A and B are shown apart, each in its own frame.
Chain A
Amino acid sequence: MPPTTFSNKPPIYKRPERVDDLIDGKLMARLDQIDVVSRKIFAGKVQGERRSKRRGISVEFADFRQYVHGDDLRFVDWNIYGRLDRLFLKVFLEEEDLSMVIVLDASASMRWGNPDKFVFAQKLAMALGYIGLCNHNRVSLVSFGSPANGGGLQRLSNLRGRRRTGEMGQWLLRLDPTPDLRLEEKKASATSAVTFDDAMRTIALSRQGRGVMLILSDFLYKQGYEKGLRYVAGGGYDTFALQILSPEEIDPAANNVSGDLKLVDVEDADQSEVTITPALLKSYRERLNAYCGQMRDFCVRRGITHVLVDSAVDMDELILDYLRKRGLLR
């Protein structure tokens, strides 16, 4: 196993091998109480457990409105007609299902950090997916960039219902972003891998219905994240960009980074020779803050919710507390 962090500390997370490693029973019990919130209320294809923006057929009353010619007489409130001698229509809220798309970045850069960013992302995807399944939402999972898969897209579409949890877990376990060690040789071919832009474009084009899209990635793309996010912004999705960074990336100084280093990019084998100095670390922190700040601004302007997540944060705390506060879960 190649070193995936700066330090030699033992990994905090083990690589998950079973579905139970991704999500345990205790967490599942607590997640049963939670639902995914969309700030937009979208129409679904089948009647679900969710209020739709569309007024329609359900038991929950929403409003009255004047009858106009052509309205279905079945919805006329005859009691009011009897009292006022005018025709009013009862309008009911329609309940429908929510499409939930979880996009998982499985590029090599995710297999890094301690705790491992990808393991963290797997667990988070599992938990969020489970919430979606529990609430009868239509859950789809898409991963991209996995070196084992030549960087192409992998999909698991249209899961619904709690009984699909195992299937979703198995699919997640099969994903492996472990970087190819023969990067130097493959450097040329690495460019043929599906980029974030391509993946987002493909996902946006193949959209089925409306819903919530959760993108789990570190968003450290040399070609930029802007173009990719633009595809999915405002296109019928309520998009959440969950930027997962490891503690070493957030604060290298606190994680024993020192000396003269040749930093090798695990994705494109790009090398950067650095001598760790206080000035360099300061500059790095400024750069990171600027990067995250720009991304947040970019997302806010396009109605995307940006959430920066430290891979060391406790999963319970993240889901039950942090993501609730950020309005993703209820």
Chain B
Amino acid sequence: MTWLTPMAGLFLALATIPPLVALYFLKLRRLPKPIASTLLWRRSLEDIRANAPFQRLRMNLLLLLQLAILALLAFAIAQPQVDAGLTRGGKTVILIDNSASMNAIDMSETREKPKTRLEFAKELAKTKVEKLFAGGLFGGGSGDVMVIAFADRAEVKCPFSNSRAQILAAIDDIEPTDATTSIGEALALARAFTTTTDSKGEFQMSTPAALELFSDGNIDDLTEQSLRKDESLRYNMLGLPTANNAGVVAIAAERSPEAPDKIQVFSAVATGNAEEVSSDVQLAVNGTVVAITPEPITMPGTTVPASERRKQVIYKPFSQPRDAVIEVSLAREDDLAIDNAAAIAIAPAKRVRVALVGSQGFVLRSLLEGMALEGLVRMSVEEFEASWTSLGADAYDVYVLQDYTPSEGKKLPPGRYLSFAGRPIDAITPVEKKERLRVKSTVDDHPVFRFVTLDDLVVSEAESIVVDRSFDVLAEAAEGPLVVAYDQGGVRLLHVTFDPLNSNWPFLRSFVNFVPNAIEWLSASGEALALNGLQPGDTASFRIPADAKNIELELPDGTKSSIAPREPGQFAWGPIRRAGIYTLRWDEADREGRQEKRFTANLLSDKEGQIRPVEKLVLGEREVAGMGASVNARSSLWPLLLGVALLVVMLEWWIYQRRAGV
């Protein structure tokens, strides 16, 4: 039971009931009756009064009825409403969580045709909308309803509308995802729609909105959120506290640089249950089980600290020179199937072919020669530019350019380049020469700076440049960028603005780490999936042959869709909604049959794997208790109360008339 205007009802009750009682004390209408003697009556009254100080009021039916009428009116004015429905009138935002944990089937009665939490949530939301529009004599306005689905990102399924059909269709349209949960964007969207700016743009006014959340409460960014003063949130909790789940929370596979045909697989498993869970963990390569843990792995329950909950499972390196999909899975059934397995696609064992273009500096050449490369070719600028037509940019994995600026009228073709000094693309605008530069800041977590520190680097002379926003500045000095990354139109470029020989870098250990990192980062472009795979919510983006045709993507559920690449040689698709193995197929002019590339998306989330519903949401200072997923209309009780009050008025009048006739 909630009250829309409790203070009004309270005020009415306080303003009328005490005066009524006082009036009864003061002005009770008594019928005068002559009597032989008041002797016995007086004595009887004394007896009664001794026992009951308020005997005058006691059993006074008329007063009781009048008090009942006032109380009913006060209740009606306070506008009580039955809970578990939508608020009539005003603005209601339906927020439906369609994250991975909402795919749990713990609420389903049968395992044969299981229903997920999301399906229950959609049903519940639809029932509430139906009831909201049910109308009736006292239905009143249904108000505007907005539908937002949210997982790792939020999507407005239906802006504010009072069309029942549109709202229901929008709810039906919500599809499950395997993404993580964050509500911040959804709240921001809802607020954007409820906030209006006046015509002059000076004041922002927000309409009070009732937020109707359908979720299991496992929301990552909940602690960062708070409700505004005029917002009310009703949390329709989905899921059962008995929900049972364990899953793979990490997977990684590596080919060792020394023996590239050997694969080492690392994984971790954990459970979201309060009690510990045991399960065998198996490893499959291309669908064939190749290993299983010798004894079940015991995963501790949520009572132990989070850092100790993950159980690492490491498999012995095994030989797999070809590409493969490696899958780690738990040999048990639980309420959330999607995290029971995690897969990653491994590219075939391959070494990098590098071409060194331009003035062949000794330092760089000897460094590259020391690397375990499949091939290192040196070519002049002319040869390099001539090869664009004959070999294509795909002939070498990485080109290393030294002080290279394309000839007049030429433009760097799609490919992967590590460039030192020069002006390899037009987007780099040289300004002036600077001397004695020192690194001011670096993006330390970028893969090319792994084990690289540029604190000691002193550049004696460098061209200061200006770059636009398409560049990532990885390292810069006070005078301008020193290392920039560029990835557009098939050109993936890592550009160092100075010649290493004009600095002390060749003498520093950081240079020895930087060059292999850069080669690896550039060459792994597209094949870097081998480490962790993608996560739902990510975008799959990698290179395919520029002449690929009839590109088709097969989703984990078996559906296929054809893809038209935005740029030749570049495949980008996203955001990924479901976890599983994706297969990309295409035709190539000079190769027979369909070419294939697989990539995977995995849930790999501790938080999302904890599917037990959260009983109470804490949003800032407010706590919102979850309501069971019961379906009740929220309808106003005031018409009923008024009706009862009217009946009592009639009864009171009848009794009064009867008494007055005595």
Query: Which positions in A face B, CB cutoff 8 Å?
Result: 2-4, 6, 8, 109-110, 112-113, 117, 179, 218, 220-222, 246, 249, 256, 258-267, 270-275, 277-280, 283-284, 286-288, 291
Contact = CB atoms under 8 A, between A and B. Distances in A.
Given A261-B31, A262-B30, A220 B36 contact: yes
B15 interface: no
A74 B659 CA distance: 82
Nearest to A245: B36
Interface string B22-34: 0000001111111
Interface residues of B, number: 29
A275 B41 contact: no
A260 B29 contact: yes
Interface in B32-57: 32-45, 47-48, 51-52, 55-56
Given A220-B39, A259-B662, A279-B48, 18 more contacts: A4-B34, A112-B36, A113-B36, A249-B40, A256-B662, A259-B31, A260-B30, A261-B31, A265-B34, A265-B36, A265-B37, A277-B48, A278-B59, A284-B40, A286-B44, A287-B43, A287-B47, A288-B40
Contact of B33 (A3, A113, A280, A286): A3
Given A259-B662, A280-B45, A287-B44, A265 B59 contact: no
B60 interface: yes
Contacts of B48: 277, 279-280, 283
B95 to A, nearest CB: 58
Nearest to A273: B30
Contacts of A279: 48, 51-52, 55, 59
Contacts of B28: 260, 273, 275
B182 to A, nearest CB: 67
A284 B37 contact: no
A220 B41 CA distance: 11
A261 B48 CA distance: 16
Nearest to A265: B38
B36 A246 contact: yes
Nearest to B661: A8
A179 B37 contact: no
Contacts, number: 112
Nearest to B57: A275
A259 B659 contact: yes
B35 A264 contact: yes
B58 interface: yes
A143 to B, nearest CB: 17
Contact of A260 (B38, B40, B42, B60): B60
Contacts of B29: 260
30 contacts: A3-B33, A4-B34, A109-B37, A110-B36, A113-B36, A117-B36, A220-B37, A220-B39, A222-B37, A246-B36, A258-B659, A260-B29, A261-B32, A263-B33, A264-B33, A265-B37, A266-B35, A266-B36, A272-B38, A272-B41, A274-B41, A274-B45, A277-B55, A278-B59, A279-B48, A280-B44, A284-B44, A286-B44, A287-B43, A291-B39
A249 B30 contact: no
A7 B424 CA distance: 119
Contacts of B52: 279
Contacts of A271: 38
Interface of B: 28-45, 47-48, 51-52, 55-56, 58-60, 659, 662
A112 B34 contact: yes
B36 A2 contact: no
A3 B33 CA distance: 8
A264 B31 CA distance: 10
Contacts of A246: 36
Nearest to B35: A263
A288 B28 CA distance: 27
B57 to A, nearest CB: 9
A117 to B, nearest CB: 7
Given A272-B45, A275-B59, A261 B40 contact: no
B418 to A, nearest CB: 104
Closest 7 CB pairs of A and B: A220-B37, A262-B30, A112-B36, A109-B36, A283-B44, A284-B44, A272-B38
Contacts of A265: 34-38
Interface centre among B28, B35, B60 (most CB of A within 10 A): B35
A256 B31 CA distance: 14
Nearest to B655: A259
Contact of B40 (A264, A278, A287): A287
A125 B55 CA distance: 43
A11 to B, nearest CB: 15
Contacts of B36: 109-110, 112-113, 117, 218, 220, 246, 249, 265-266
A291 to B, nearest CB: 6
A265 to B, nearest CB: 4
B615 to A, nearest CB: 51
B60 A275 contact: yes
Contact of A291 (B30, B38, B40): B40
A283 B45 CA distance: 8
B372 to A, nearest CB: 107
Contacts of A218: 36-37
B35 to A, nearest CB: 5
Contacts of A287: 40, 43-44, 47
Contacts of A291: 39-40
A265 B42 CA distance: 11
Contacts of B35: 112, 263-266
A283 B47 contact: yes
A76 B152 CA distance: 144
A126 B48 CA distance: 41
Nearest to A285: B44
A267 B35 CA distance: 9
Contacts of A272: 38, 41-42, 45
Contacts of B55: 275, 277, 279-280
Contacts of B662: 8, 256, 258-259
Contacts of A273: 28, 30
Contacts of B56: 275
Interface centre among A218, A259, A280 (most CB of B within 10 A): A259
B619 to A, nearest CB: 55
Nearest to A291: B40
A8 B505 CA distance: 123
Given A112-B34, A287-B47, A263 B39 contact: no
Contacts of A261: 30-33
A103 B30 CA distance: 37
Contacts of A288: 40
A277 B59 contact: yes
A292 to B, nearest CB: 10
A31 to B, nearest CB: 29
A308 to B, nearest CB: 14
Contacts of B45: 272, 274, 280, 283
Nearest to A109: B36
A106 B550 CA distance: 127
B59 A263 contact: no
A278 B61 CA distance: 13
A278 B55 CA distance: 11
Contacts of A264: 32-35, 38
B23 to A, nearest CB: 13
Contacts of B30: 260-262, 273
A117 B659 CA distance: 27
A86 to B, nearest CB: 66
A288 to B, nearest CB: 6
A261 B40 CA distance: 15
A209 to B, nearest CB: 34
Contacts of B44: 280, 283-284, 286-287
Contact of A262 (B33, B47, B58): B33
Nearest to B31: A261
B442 to A, nearest CB: 93
A234 to B, nearest CB: 27
Nearest to B61: A259
A278 B47 CA distance: 13
A262 to B, nearest CB: 4
